[in-house]
């Protein structure tokens, strides 16, 4: 972390720096292999309150059809059967609470909407990994159960793909709207 700026100095409205932001995922497949991927189209904003982190907030929108695992056939299946991207083109996350855990670590809670279903997600541990006068970066991960959002629950898929999906992210934001 750059020592130029402390978190208490970061109060303000930030916009997502899409060139420096990654939203990836990992899911177990049969035979203990893993499927990894990411989303290419993400937008969002962050409100930081360095003096009172609980007043901070985040809002992200992901284009479901931008999923990319490096396998065009699998991506097509994920867009159609898993995410139903045609009927539900966006995935959204809106924070409902942020708690400072000490040092550079925070716990975020929020509402995640996938396929038109919104569920709370708790215990997202996020770490402040870079600060500068006009840029801030956070990294973290959380594991969710895709079945809570109705993400492809057919019998064959239940046997082949774990319901647990780990979301991994690095979010960079810059000052301004």
Tally Cβ neighbours within 10 Å of residue 167.
18
Q: Is the pLDDT of residue 105 over 70?
A: yes
Residue from 55, 52, 46 nearest 15 by CA = 46
**Structure confidence at residue 99 (pLDDT):** 95
pLDDT of residue 166: 93
Domain count, the chain: 1
Closest to 152 measured CA to CA, from 67, 80, 63: 80
- In this prediction the pTM is 0.89
Q: Can you give the residue range of the structural domain that contains 97? A: 7-175
Give residue-wise pLDDT tens across range 7-25.
Answer: 778 889 999 999 999 999 9
Distance CA 2, CA 131 (A): 5
Angle of CA points 151, 115, 118, to nearest 5°:
100
User: Does residue 2 lie in a domain region?
Assistant: no
Position 1 in a domain: no
CA distance linking residue 173 with residue 18, whole number of Å:
8
- CA separation for the pair 46, 58 (Å, rounded): 4
Q: Which residues pair with 19 in a beta bridge?
A: none
Digit-coded pLDDT (tens) for 120-130: 999 999 999 99
Mean pLDDT of 164-170: 93
In tens, the pLDDT along 44-77 reads: 999 999 899 999 999 999 999 999 999 999 899 8
**Cα–Cα distance, 2 to 139 (Å, whole number):** 15
CATH of the domain at 101: 2.40.128.110
Under a CB-based contact definition with an 8 Å cutoff, are residues 165 and 24 in contact?
no
Token reading at 66: 């931008």
């Amino acid at each position: 972390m750059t020592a130029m700026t402390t978190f208490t100095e970061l109060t303000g409205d930030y916009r997502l720096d899409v060139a420096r932001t990654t939203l990836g995922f990992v899911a177990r497949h049969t035979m203990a292999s893993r499927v990894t991927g990411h989303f290419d189209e993400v937008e969002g904003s962050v409100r930081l309150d360095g003096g009172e982190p609980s007043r901070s907030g985040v809002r992200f929108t992901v284009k479901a059809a931008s999923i990319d695992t490096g396998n065009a056939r699998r991506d097509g299946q994920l867009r159609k059967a898993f995410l139903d991207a045609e009927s539900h083109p966006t995935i959204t996350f809106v924070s409902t609470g942020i708690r400072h855990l000490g040092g550079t670590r925070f716990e975020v809670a929020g509402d995640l909407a996938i396929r038109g279903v919104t569920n709370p997600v708790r215990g997202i541990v996020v770490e402040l990994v870079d600060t500068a006068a006009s840029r801030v970066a956070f990294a973290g991960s959380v594991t969710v159960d895709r079945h809570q959002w109705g993400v492809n629950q057919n019998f064959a898929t239940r046997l082949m793909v774990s319901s647990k999906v780990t979301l991994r992210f690095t979010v960079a934001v810059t000052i301004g709207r």
